[in-house]
Amino acid sequence: MSEPRARLTGAVYLMYFLTAILGEFLLDRKLGIYGVAVNVIATACYVAVTLLFYALFKPVNRRLSFLAALLSLVGCAITALSIFHLAPVHISPLLFFGPYCILLGYLIFKSTFLPRFLGVLMACAGVGWLMFLSPPLASHLSTFLKVLGVVAEGSLMLWLLVLGVNVQRWKQQAGA
């Protein structure tokens, strides 16, 4: 994993954030077709981030990185189907994105090339996303859980974009 590739991961993650926010803004303003188009782009960005994270964390634990990517890709597929109202049953993508963030948190924590606090934040965000599956619990904690998720994922995105990874440690872990 080269430094530019780690920063590319952060840049694509930023693109996801921007398009997801814009998509929701457009849908809230009753600009449906534009909101749908932007949400499709946001979902494509998240697929790309998922694949980039798989490559980044494969040296830490190949199987867990693959499982995390698989969970995220299923969540992306459900999101894409939901955008077009084609999902056969209503399954929340958070059912997959929560465990994805927990696994990413673990992989970050076990890595030697990113700070552990990012892993703790991501794991906490994953638990928070799962809490949204319980409407009574989520209704009381909704704002806190959303802030936690944005802070965790935003911190990881900014770290990758600004600081990248410790390339020497990534190469050591990849070579082990």
Residue pLDDT, tens place only, 95-114:
999 999 999 999 999 999 99
Q: Is residue 174 part of a domain?
A: no
The residue type of 115 is P
Q: Is residue 169 part of a domain?
A: no
Q: Is residue 70 part of a domain?
A: yes
Q: What mean pLDDT is reported for the chain?
A: 91
Structure confidence by residue, pLDDT tens digits, 31-56:
888 889 999 999 999 999 999 999 99
Q: Is residue 42 part of a domain?
A: yes
Q: Is residue 63 part of a domain?
A: yes
Q: Which domain holds residue 90?
A: 3-164
User: Where residue 2 falls among pLDDT bands split at 50, 70, 90?
Assistant: low
Q: Is residue 171 part of a domain?
A: no
Q: Is residue 173 part of a domain?
A: no
Domain tally for the chain? 1
Q: Residues of 90-111 as b/e, b for ≥16 C-beta within 10 angstroms?
A: eebbbbbbbbbbbbbbbbbbeb
Residue 1 has pLDDT above 60, yes or no: no
Q: Is residue 41 part of a domain?
A: yes
Q: Work out the burial of residue 36: count CB atoms within 10 Å of its CB; fewer than 13 is exposed, 13-18 middle, 19 or more buried.
A: middle
**Rounded to two decimals, what is the model's pTM?**
0.91
Q: Where are the alpha helices (DSSP H) in 29-93?
A: 32-57, 62-83
Q: Which residues contact 131 (CB under 8 A, 6 or more apart)?
A: 137, 138, 141, 145
